[in-house]
Structure 1
Amino acid sequence: METPPVLSGRELQAAEQIFGTRLGLAERYVGHLATSGIERGLLGPREVPRLWSRHVLNCAVIESCIPQAATVADVGSGAGLPGLCLAIARPDLSLTLIEPLERRCIWLQEVVDDLGLDNVTVWRGRAEAAVGLTDFSVVTARAVSALDKLARLTLPLLQGNGELVAIKGRSAQDEIENAQKVLKKLRAVETEILSCGDELLEEPTTVVRVTVRR
């Protein structure tokens, strides 16, 4: 069984600023990732030393892009990245973790129950089937697919009004250019690249935010 990495230095400062009094919950979540998350194949064992830097903090900093009291759909939630990170950092948010694989949903529900997160619903199914499930104002995604395909999966969940906040890498600008036709068809009014966590993380998180309006 893997031992969860210990926070220190800059990571500890970042975690304290992002999670505040709920840092203990974040640490318990990382404990789940490092143990049952690895055992059940949600993450590879090589990821354990960088669970905080590459995964949890990398995801949690996008909370700065999400409005107060938003209703959020996290598509392809997997190990709860970024959905559970946001639920811990922002108890004002209402999150639905959308995940098609049963074994991942079981794990997510176990973690939600253990952490006592009353602002999270785990929903098993594909994103296409979740349209109309609730009046989502924000959709999040990480490592799901290129932006053109991701837009087709996620923007319909907003039902014409809201924002997609997608964690991306260095290819963000290329993905935006390749997705122009799809974004226009889906009534995107603005697409921008944001950098989150510049003052907190050694490697800030790159986000593509797509806004749709009726």
Structure 2
Amino acid sequence: MAYADLLASAGVVRGLIGPRETPRLWSRHLLNSAVLAEQVPPGATVADVGSGAGLPGLPLAIARPDATITLIEPLLRRATFLQEAVELLGLSNVRVIRARGEDLHRSPDLVPGFGVVTSRAVATLSQLVDWCMPLVEPHGALVALKGDTAAQEVLDSQRTLSSWGCAQPQVLTLGGTTLAEPTSAVRVEWARPESVSWPARPERRRPSSSSRRRRSGRP
């Protein structure tokens, strides 16, 4: 309730939540984020990439105090809000890092990666795989909260998934027995986790002829 009040006040004033979203904070944002707990093992380390206003990371941290949550957000005003929210809510299991998710695999203090990496309304599944799989430990998973486009995004991302050595993703329904509006998510794991060394690296992909022309400056 304290986090909902914070989103409806400071979150709206700072432009992190649209004013039209306040009547549906619980149904559309908070509870739909909290049911991610179904995919988080006990005591897991979790990274929320592109956390924004703290969704889904903060509801998950509140619902699962046993998990250690890292909120990753590159924009200063959002990262500042997240740090203030963590302190106000007294969440000792949360830290905030101001950075882009795709840059974090270069940070040695994050080795050996995260058990669960999540994201909500940040990018396509193909982009998330490129950004987030380097952060996923060998037996961990990327769990991306998606809407009705989940199944189509899985089809559209087959080339990227293959180049990273990912297993075929699972399209999940979270909160199906508890929420009036369940959450759709895509879970991506490594196809051969025993062969993954952190930070992970994809197989080298040959650039297309158009991308080679762009790099060379030729039209």
Match in the other structure for 1:59: 33
Unaligned runs of 5+ in 1: 1-26
Match in the other structure for 1:74: 48
Measure, in 2, the Cα distance between the counterparts of 1:141 and 1:149: 11
Please point out which of 120, 124, 146 is paired with 1:146: 124
Match in the other structure for 1:210: 188
Measure, in 2, the Cα distance between the counterparts of 1:186 and 1:66: 23
Match in the other structure for 1:157: 135
Measure, in 1, the Cα distance between the counterparts of 2:123 and 2:84: 26
Match in the other structure for 1:108: 82
Match in the other structure for 2:4: 30
Measure, in 1, the Cα distance between the counterparts of 2:29 and 2:118: 15
Unaligned runs of 5+ in 2: 197-219
Measure, in 2, the Cα distance between the counterparts of 1:143 and 1:198: 20
Match in the other structure for 2:216: none
Equivalent pairs counted in the alignment come to 188
Where 2:148 maps in the other structure, the secondary structure is coil
TM-score by length of 2: 0.83
- Percent identical pairs in the alignment equals 51
Runs of 4+ aligned structure 1 residues displaced above 6 Å come to none
Contact 1:160 1:187 in 2 (8 A): no
Measure, in 2, the Cα distance between the counterparts of 1:66 and 1:190: 19
Match in the other structure for 1:88: 62
1:191 aligns with 2:165: no
> Over aligned residue pairs, what C-alpha RMSD do you find?
1.1
Encode CA deviations 1:113-153: one digit per residue, 9 max, x unaligned.
Answer: 01110000100010122114422111010001110111101
Greater Cα radius of gyration, structure 1 or 2 = 2
Where 1:189 maps in the other structure, the secondary structure is coil
TM-score by length of 1: 0.85
